[in-house]
Amino acid sequence: MQLLVTGGAGFIGANFIRHVMDRPEISRLVNLDCLTYAGHLENLHGLDVHPKYAFERVDLRDKAAVCRVVQAHGITHVVHLAAESHVDRSISGPGDFVHTNVVGTFHLLDACRGAWAEKYSGKKFLHASTDEVYGSLGASGAFTEDSPYAPNSPYSASKAAADMFVRAYRQTYGLPAIVTNCSNNFGPYQFPEKLIPVVIQAIIARRPIPIYGDGLQVRDWLHVRHRRAHRAAQPPPRRAPVRSRRRSRPAPRWRLAQAHHARRRPAGPRPALRD
């Protein structure tokens, strides 16, 4: 197996690569990353000398470079993790999300279609999406693979569009592709702009904990070690082109902040919650 991981210098990608690097079925692992603000090769310290590992600093928006990587390394399996993923950034600058998440995914799909030339036996394309494509969760219930798409931000709209391209390539060209719609992740190497690192840093620094709006938005959280269950070696399921991944215990944002505060609270006055 020649495995291509996009976004491998990021939070989820680095954890995934560390988890699968020594699997015997992987003969080559290529990390494609353009090293934006959230991608750091330090997350993969020690793996740069691994005999199976190769790094390609390539932007998914550069179709020619993406095609070159897929062809040159004889890629047989893809785990597509690279994405612009911060909701606030998508509101202030939605264009970057369209170009990276939608156009970049199209470039990768087309590169694989061209390189594989409809010889799909032993090939697999896994696209990591988000449960935010389904919209907002109410006070109860959970998203499933059958939930209708209802994206509410430029970020989730861009991921929904990318999902549709993956579906279209599967239906039109027979590309062996899977979409996974995972809930929010946390764990080692996460960029500090995300909610859980923000809450922890505020508690440690004894600053008010920032909570968006009224804090009642329901979110589900999954540790990145569970997300690593995206197994590149698994054969693509014939009847399950879409997979949802969640922890099954969603909670409002304010409760998450309260729980972290209770576990990590230093001695002295309690920091306040604020919006």
Query: Cα–Cα distance between 147 and 94 in angstroms, integer?
Result: 25
Query: Cα–Cα distance between 214 and 18 in angstroms, integer?
Result: 38
Indicate which residue of 56, 110, 155, 189 is catalytic: 155
Residues in the chain: 275
Indicate which residue of 33, 59, 84, 132 is catalytic: 132
Indicate which residue of 33, 56, 131, 163 is catalytic: 131
Mark whether 131 is an active-site residue: yes
Q: Give me 230's structure tokens.
A: 């995206």
Mark whether 37 is an active-site residue: no
With b for 16 or more beta-carbon neighbours within 10 A and e for fewer, the 235-257 pattern comes to: ebeeeebbbbbbeeebebbbebb
Mark whether 42 is an active-site residue: no
Q: What's the count of helices (H) and strands (E) in the chain, helices before strands?
A: 9, 13
Q: 138 exposed, middle or buried (CB, 10 Å; 0-12, 13-18, 19+)?
A: exposed
Residue that is written with structure tokens 């709209």 in the block: 157
The closest alpha carbon to 156, from 182, 185, 177, 174, belongs to: 182
By annotation, the residues acting in catalysis are 131-132, 155
